[in-house]
Amino acid sequence: MVWLPPPLGFFKLNIDGASRQNLGSAGCGGIIWNDAGGFIAAFAISLGINSNNTTEFYALERGISLAMELNCVSIVIESDSKLLVDFKVQHAYREAHMVADSLAKAVKLSAVKLKQKNEDFVDMSPGLSVKLSTFDD
């Protein structure tokens, strides 16, 4: 296998996450390259105790955030995580996903976080509460 630079006009983000065992000391890192294979930026973050899959998602999130901060908007992302690369992300107009858009706006504008029976809820006034769930690996 050989690393190749991204297509002309694109940046490449290589990311990885790691943890000792599947729930242990963890971290993530990544590097952004230009279309000539030149270095743009890199990051490495300690993630405390985390799982393998969680570290991969942190690497993706931090890498995309860094790319956006640097105005690297046309990016190719490479990862060795099958979990990440099996996703298909496509654009959808707000009107095509009104429920998700409404949830995000409600939380941003007026959410009150409640605690009930060790579960987090967001009060989506008026008259709607949503349970916030996390998914373990």
Tens of pLDDT, residue by residue over 99-118, are 877 777 776 665 444 444 44
Cα separation, 22 vs 95, in Å, equals 40
Cα separation, 44 vs 113, in Å, equals 32
What tens digit of pLDDT does each residue of 50-76 get? 999 999 999 999 999 999 999 999 999
> Which secondary-structure segment (H or E) carries 130?
strand 129-132
Cα separation, 30 vs 33, in Å, equals 10
- Tell me the domains of the chain and their CATH numbers: 11-85 (3.30.420.10), 94-132 (no CATH)
Q: What is the pTM (predicted TM-score) of this model?
A: 0.71
